[in-house]
Amino acid sequence: MTFQFDAYVTAALFQKDGTAVFALGDGTVRFESGQSVEAHNGAILCACLHPSGEGLLTGGDDGRLVWSRPSGAQEIAKVAGRWIDAIDASPESRLIAFAAGKELHVRDSADPAFSRVFVHEKSVAAVAFEPKGRRIAAATYGGAWLWYAKIAEQKPYVLKWAGSHVGLAFSPDGKFLMSAMQENALHGWRVADDKNLRMGGYPVKVKSLAFVAKGQLLITSGANGLVAWPFAGATGPMGKQAAEVGFDESAMVLRVDGMPGGQWVCAGLDDGRVWACDLAGQKIVPLKAEKGAEITALAMSKDGLRVAWGDEDGAAGVASV
């Protein structure tokens, strides 16, 4: 199934019911079932699933946080004069976190009156909930700041590393926090003792990362193939080598995703192609073989059976693996 939208595809995600939904640069949210919802006056800059698993939460350059379902759009928050360009939500705690400039905002999907704001020294580029949904990490210049989501007055737990941090992922056990950097590098910390994990060697910037195989592997973009780091054991990837899957010297992997509980992964390339792979068997399955604009959004369903993608020219699709 393919689509041709009129704008850049900011995000592609799967809802709890297994259907795909797309967030676009023209402010609309498009559902695989055909519905189109006008969510923002301007571009959608970030998106994630609502904690309920139904519909998308999106942030825009209109300073609004919006929950879109096929039935329509509902404004959850507004920050006047700011862009909302990073977001995450926790199904476990039902909390929502989003960034606007130097501020990290927290809302509770079960309590419309609840609000917290945590201020940083520099702009926040990414946010991520730890697996239980009680703490939030905010990526900023010089490292990541960890906050308890519901406590009003507190000092953050700061994981330091020089440079600009722009993407985050917690390991499923919460022991490791991984950061994609503005440079061509991946960095990480063992949260309990601030132990640094230096993971370099990337030819381009890492734009996408995800834990798969019950936390045994971290997959990333940033190379000619999908990069897979081993995370089994207490020391994670320390002293271990990464594997590169689907190496192709003519293209770069820009987006990756995979099964949280399994070994199927997928990759979106800068030449418009999309493929999936079972890491156990190493067989590459082409899902979109024709070349085109670079892939800007990619998601695999939790059961590993479907992949959704979108590109910078508005082309999008959903395929069975």
pLDDT, position 181: 96
197-241 pLDDT, tens digit each:
988 889 999 999 999 999 999 999 999 999 999 998 878 888 888
Instruction: Please check whether residue 143 lies inside any domain of the structure.
Output: no
Instruction: Please check whether residue 41 lies inside any domain of the structure.
Output: no
pLDDT, position 199: 87
- Taking alpha carbons only, the member of 210, 222, 229 closest to residue 300 is 210
**Residue 286: which domain range?**
205-321
Q: Compute the chain's Rg from CA coordinates.
A: 18
Instruction: Please check whether residue 44 lies inside any domain of the structure.
Output: no
pLDDT, position 239: 81
- Per the structure, the count of domains in the chain is 1
**Average pLDDT, rounded, for the chain:** 96
Instruction: Please check whether residue 86 lies inside any domain of the structure.
Output: no
As a whole number, mean pLDDT of residues 193-199 equals 90
Residues near 170 by beta carbon (within 8 Å), at least 6 away in sequence: 128, 129, 130, 131, 137, 176, 177, 178, 211
| Residue 282 pLDDT class (50, 70, 90 cuts) | confident
pLDDT, position 120: 98
Instruction: Please check whether residue 131 lies inside any domain of the structure.
Output: no
Instruction: Please check whether residue 135 lies inside any domain of the structure.
Output: no
Triad 306, 253, 305: Cα angle to 5°? 10
As a whole number, mean pLDDT of residues 7-18 equals 97
Dihedral over Cα of 198, 200, 205, 208: its sign? negative
Instruction: Please check whether residue 197 lies inside any domain of the structure.
Output: no
Domain CATH number, residue 262: 2.130.10.10
Instruction: Please check whether residue 234 lies inside any domain of the structure.
Output: yes
